[in-house]
Amino acid sequence: MAKISLLSFLLCNIFLLVAQQTTAQPPSFLFQFCLNDKGNYTLNSTYQANLNHLLTTLPTSQNDNGYGFYNVSYGKGSDQVYAVGLCRGDATPNVCRSCLNDSMHVLTDICPNQKEAVGWYDNCMLRYSNSSTLRYSNRSMLGTPVTIPLNYLWNPENVSSSNVQEYFDDLRTLLDGLKNEAASGGSLRKYATGQTKAPDFLTIYALVQCTPDLPQQQCINCLDYVYSRIPNCCFGKVGGRVVGPTCSVRYEKYLFYGSPYDPRPPSQKAPTPAPTNNTINNITEGQKSTDKSRNIIIAVVATVSGVVLIIFFLVCLRLRKSKKNVQAIKTYEPVDEIESAESLLYDFETINVATDQFSEDNKLGQGGFGAVYQGRLANGQDIAVKRLCRGSGQGDLEFKNEVMLVAKLQHRNLVRLLGFSLESSERLLVYEFVQNASLDHFIFDPRNRVTLDWDRRYKIIGGVARGLLYLHEDSRLRIIHRDLKASNILLDEEMNPKIADFGMARLFVVDQTQGNTSRIVGTYGYMAPEYAMHGHFSVKSDVFSFGVLILEIVSGQKNNSFRQGEYVEDLLSYTWRIYREGNTSKMVDPLMRVGSASEVMRCIHIGLLCVQENIENRPTMNAIVPMLNSNSLSLPLPSEPAFFMRSNTGSHMSFGSDFNSRETTKSSNHPKNDCINEASITELFPR
């Protein structure tokens, strides 16, 4: 009965939400990217006039190649604008142009003043750029495969664990065939769909598409790269999609596409059988009675439907009023996401046995929101279990935050959520177990620090950078971690880093670039000054924390307790001082075996760029990753960083929760599974 009641309540909420939004609105973007590192245009400028003219005239028949591909440019010199529109192969002209019209309005609203932007709907893609900012071609946007940015979506339903490999082998065979079919489609359309049988009596339906300007081999290359990203986002899922500016792929266990649109006149299409004389007579004689019956049926159905909807609406209002106290996690997300979360549900007794009744011997550490235990499931899999504090309102919020957030994230440099348990007052989060605990147990320990030569430290810096880039740009969500620090970087058996602890993360809405809060969370020494003092946060807040982390990894000392002989100051202040003296090598950890001195100096330089006091001067992760990977890129000169020793921020201000610390707290006086919440969290917003 409880499940039926909850389902009724959720259906009612969905029904009411639909009823409240009956006014026509443009559909939401699946993804959008505002490439603001490519420059802005000024209001009422020639460029803006050219862009508006171009986008207004783009979705017209004279710009269409007949198969839903639009390629136009307008203007001259530095004010010339290029635009490309591509509709899905089964979209009719009306659907295609309507989609592009919506894209035009929404994308320019989401990306105001940006010279380069790209956005995707279900039925179309729109991309525009300026001739002086094109990254992939000197003269146009055509003929070159573009795989950045890539975006991912996946069906939350899992393939049966015993059939995962067979399922994806069948998928790969299907996609390889569709790739060749699409690539050979000619200059008008490169689009293919198909299906194949899969284990468990399933059918896999798939769709692939390239922009038709790509030559055959370039389309194949683009799709090969997109295919290679499927395991990163969607392995083990019954459906998924990877979309980029010039090619895309989608697969599902259900039919999600229609017949390809064919613009040829009927005379050029396959003829349909002509009706016989008997058929014509039957149609003529039965037409009047059919029309009369249809009218009666429509009237009856409309009347009954109206009465049922009114009754259902009233019942929903009553149920909604009586269910105000339903737990937030059950009302927050749509039905499919709740079902997705429930598919990760573990029985409490299973976890209790796995952790030996949460014994102190299995305790890995204690954080602000609870303790973390090592456990082993009956199948031999090692796990890490975060047991949230009982009786904590913040614990419920953090629980919702991590389950609904981390379950959607899949990247090799993020810790993977396996499931959760929700029973009585118990809130458990089950993660993959990471063998080497957290980075702080290596980098700040004189004995363990010796094992980290420069190659390993550089590998850790690069992995954390890629994980942050995924959170900020490449995932289907835009996430600000807000508590990036050494103790929240876990190291696997090969010393690959994994970002952990998303209890304080903030999920931005689609057009949001920054936010503010009265609840400051995070850890002193890692917080950006605009956040610590004013509550303003953005992706640049995480960039600041990343810069501090780089300097700590290079020096082997904490930012807020850096010691040089008998002189104590914060690490940022010291690094800036010796940088101006031209002697940054003095801050390098003397216990570290240095492999490439130029890489070390480059990382110090990048770290200083990240911790600049002026938020506008800090680079984005999208710029930092290439800086780390290429010695040929010239780096701008850093300006003065934020010095914590001279700021008004006290070290007692706030603290974060350590996810996998092995410094146990057995001497704590707090009762078992009770803890002091030393940090606050904020609300989670849907994107």
Which residues carry out catalysis?
Answer: 483
The letter for the amino acid at 195 is Q
Residue 494 near residue 583 (C-beta atoms within 8 A): no
Scan for tokens 């020639």, then name that residue: 46
Residue 413, token pair as written in the block: 């440099």
The rounded distance, in Å, linking the Cα atoms of 367 and 487 is 10
Q: Cis peptide before 149, with omega less than 30 degrees from 0?
A: yes
Pairing type for strands 124-130 and 117-120 reads: antiparallel
SS3 of 486, please?
helix
State how far the alpha carbon of 182 is from the alpha carbons of 124, 194, 196, 206, 243, in Å.
Answer: 17, 11, 17, 12, 15
The rounded distance, in Å, linking the Cα atoms of 14 and 285 is 45
Q: Using CB atoms within 10 A of its CB, is residue 17 exposed (0-12), middle (13-18) or buried (19+)?
A: exposed
Strands (E), 451-561: 478-480, 489-491, 497-499, 506-508, 514-516, 536-538
Among 238, 108, 265, residue whose Cα is nearest residue 160: 238
Residue 7, token pair as written in the block: 């389902």
State how far the alpha carbon of 411 is from the alpha carbons of 108, 408, 414, 528, in Å.
Answer: 30, 10, 5, 25
Report phi then psi at 596, rounded to 5: -120, 110
Query: Quick count: other Cβ atoms within 10 Å of Cβ 536?
Result: 17
Query: Quick count: other Cβ atoms within 10 Å of Cβ 558?
Result: 19
State how far the alpha carbon of 500 is from the alpha carbons of 448, 467, 486, 562, 617, in Å.
Answer: 21, 10, 10, 25, 27
Residue 444 near residue 558 (C-beta atoms within 8 A): yes
SS3 of 270, please?
coil
